[in-house]
Amino acid sequence: MPRRGGNMKVKAARVIITGASQGIGRAIALEFGRRGARLALAARSRPALEELAGLINADGGSAIVIPTDVTDADAVEHLAQEAVSELGGIDILVNNAGIGITAPIGDASSADVEAVFRLNVLAAAAAIRAVVPTMRAQHDGMIINISSMAGKVVIPRIGYYSASKFALTAIGDALRMEEAHRGIKVMNVFPGTTRSNFGENRLGARGRQAHQRFPPVTAEKVAQRIAQAVERNQRSVYVSWIPDRAAVAANWLAAWAVSAVLRGWARRAET
């Protein structure tokens, strides 16, 4: 794996990015491509992936397209095998594919809840299992899980989404402890509200949510922070001090106050 002073370099790294066709995944692909990574782009939409790969390759980068439904375990295994065949190995997996849901815990449809956990948790875990054998054989590798600030602070009306991101964070933390002696590193990323089409694709209610009180950051800023964090070997990545880090600190120091504020937002959302 490309290294700099014991830390990984994005340049020349062989990278799988799931959910690469839009939003944060697309921004990560463009940022990593500019930095010289060799990319395997995965999502369901071949045309969107081919358009993205064309941009990356035209800009001097290197990207191949592997259309994949990551909720299909066999397809995920094929993705890993194709990446190894085409790139010669896998240095980084970016577990980015995900979906949101806005609905009270007692009102969400079972189909929506299952869809959220299938994509946000089970598919991500399947991708990890698919790439870990290659990384173990290399004695090197990095798993990057795109969690959420909702995976650090429980937020009403997106409780199922929050739970899925808490689960993904826990998987990443456990994986880090289990695989560190084999040279595999794990990074959990906690973006706050991001300017992308993520909200348009979420399940349940649409529109601006009560907790979205601060201007969103761009997907490009999230991608830049992740690229920097790879080379600094960071375990946890936050995009902004305010509100992201401040919210985590407030929740740790005065969870009762944070909970009171969120309860108020939840009540107002019902009116």
Closest Cα partner for 93 from 124, 139, 52, 137? 124
Active site residue 161: yes
The tally of CA atoms less than 13 A away on the side-chain side of residue 34 is 10
From 161, 185, 221, 238, the catalytic residue:
161
Whether 165 sits among the annotated catalytic residues: the reply is yes
Query: Across-strand partners of 188?
Result: 145, 236
Neighbours of 6 (CB within 10 A): 6
DSSP 157-191: T-HHHHHHHHHHHHHHHHHHHHHGGGTEEEEEEE-
Distances (CA, A) of 49 to 24, 41, 56, 223: 14, 7, 11, 17
**Neighbour count for residue 76 (Cβ, 10 Å):** 25
Alpha helix locations (H) across the chain?
Answer: 23-34, 46-58, 73-87, 110-117, 124-138, 159-179, 198-201, 219-232, 246-253, 255-269
Residue 194 gets which letter from DSSP?
A: E
The single residue of 165, 185, 221, 238 carrying the catalytic annotation is: 165
Cβ count within 10 A of residue 88? 10
Catalytic residues, by residue number, are: 161, 165
